[in-house]
Amino acid sequence: MDKILIHGGHPLTGSIKVSGSKNSSLPILAATLLTREPCAVQGVPDLSDTNYMVQILTYLGAQVERASGTVSVTAEKVQSVAPYDVVRKMRASVCVLGPLLGRCKEASVALPGGCVIGDRPIDLHLKGFEALGAAVRVEGGDIKIFAPKLKGAVINMEGKFGPTVLGTDNLMMAAVLADGVTVIEGAALEPEVVDLATFLMKMGAKIEGAGTRRIIIEGVAALHGAEHRVIADRIEAGTFLVAGAIAGNGITVKQVNPEHVRAVTDTLARCGYAIDIEDRAISILPNGDATALELATEPYPGFPTDMQAQMCALLSTTKGVSSITENIFPQRYMHVAELKRMGAKVHLEAATAMIEGVDCLLGAPVMASDLRASAALVLAGLKADGVTEVSRVYHIDRGYEHLDEKLSELGAQIERVKAE
């Protein structure tokens, strides 16, 4: 297994370009199953998660080619069964359920296993499919869905932790080929949902209201092929902005939609960092005297749970006492024990992390546990005295395209030690 070694204390300067969004690419690639015609998805980042999705599409019968960020898919014939071995590596593989149901009127997909960031139920996805007229059962670890006919319905997708992103995606993808009109109430507002709706509309779907709480879908008989470039990865952008805060001497993050990262830039501005926002670029300047703050994660447009770990790393070295409350995945704190190994003072009370800023962190061997937790450890390593050795970096490779190379371009002393 590869490791990443970071020699801390080398200030970052310069600029990097953000890659295409992982969380847009995954459902959009799944949506290509909805048509027999060729589709081309551009800007797909080279990550293990997007590779898993390519493998799943191929298993389901699609012809898939991948060249310089463009994934071309022709799903002339599709089979509707995805066993555990094919889907187990990635929880987001559940987003083939909606398109398979839409296209084949049946699907059998293995239930994703446990997830280190906490309980990841899919009850709302299944409730949505049932409302469209599907029969759903779980058998032998597989979700089996069957609907001789899908019929539009009014469905509220909001759960106790708020709207569901992939649940909204799944339902939209099933409803585009249903008879009649589907209204999704309590829909997720995330830019990735809007990006999927944009792609579906390019394929001929009739969708209104994506990006609002109510999405209205008028079913059509068939979809056609389309080309689409996915939006920039707002979480990657946010992660680099926090890198700029924790260890920067002024860096610029390019190829980003500033609106999509507003919660992060507002938060960093609240800490006292100077943020300069242009059309497609954001610069962050260092702050000798950053201030502690209270923060809570929320569904978009609130502060993203996918940026919580990285903020935890930053606030660990910010003078004063900060708090972060995790409202989406209350157990998503695997990074805390590792940050403590580097000298961070963090105390967990239920879903809230109380963080007492320390003057310096000390490099240590630490273990990546999930994607965003791993990024937080790398960010902490940029600031720490000495060498931080992050193991299990395959977690990082799931969702950050060339993170070590991009940080190196900014001047970080970071190297990847390849496994024997």
Smallest distance from the beta carbon of 380 to ligand EPU, in angstroms? Answer: 18
> From the centroid of its chain, how far is CA 109?
21
Nearer to ligand EPU among residue 170 and residue 265 (C-beta)? 170
Told to judge if 115 belongs to the known catalytic residues of this protein, a careful annotator would answer yes
Nearer residue to ligand EPU within complex by CB, 327 or 413: 327
CB of 67 to ligand EPU, least distance (A): 23
What gap in Å lies between CA 146 and CA 390, rounded to an integer? 45
Sequence letter at residue 233: D
Measure CA of the first residue to CA of the last residue in the chain; give whole Å: 8
Q: Are 176 and 218 in contact (CB under 8 A)?
A: no
**Residue 235 beta carbon to ligand EPU: minimum distance, rounded to whole angstroms:** 6
Examine residue 301 and say whether the peptide bond preceding it is cis (omega within 30 degrees of 0).
Answer: yes
Q: Which is nearer to ligand EPU, 275 or 351 (CB)?
A: 351
Minimum CB separation of residue 335 from ligand EPU in Å reads: 12
Give the nearer residue to ligand EPU in terms of CB position, either 23 or 252: 23
Closest contact distance (angstroms) between CB of 50 and ligand EPU is 11
Residue 123 CB coordination number (10 Å) = 10
Question: Closer CB to ligand EPU, residue 27 or residue 225?
Answer: 27
Q: Which of 275, 274, 310, 315 is nearest to 291 (CA)?
A: 315
Tokens representing residue 345 in the block: 């003072």
Counting beta carbons within 10 angstroms of the beta carbon of residue 279, is it exposed (0 to 12), middle (13 to 18) or buried (19 or more)?
exposed
- Contacts to ligand EPU by CB under 6 A: 23, 26, 92, 119-125, 159, 161-162, 164-167, 188, 192, 305-306, 328-329, 371-372, 399
Minimal distance in Å, beta carbon 389 to ligand EPU? 23
**CB 300 → ligand EPU: shortest distance, Å?**
7
The least distance separating ligand EPU from the CB of residue 244, rounded to whole angstroms, comes to 20
Listed residue (69, 73, 82, 349) closest to 233, CA to CA: 69
Cα separation of 13 and 250, whole Å? Answer: 5
- Per-residue tokens: 232: 């920039």
- Smaller CB distance to ligand EPU: residue 159 or 411? 159
Q: Report the residue number, 105 or 332, with the smaller CB distance to ligand EPU.
A: 332
Give Cβ neighbours of residue 241 (< 8 Å, ≥ 6 apart).
253, 261, 264, 265, 268, 275, 282, 284
Integer Cα distance of 127 and 149 in angstroms = 16
Nearer to ligand EPU, 192 or 363 (CB): 192
Q: Which of 39, 95, 104, 115 is the catalytic position?
A: 115
Q: Which residues are catalytic?
A: 115
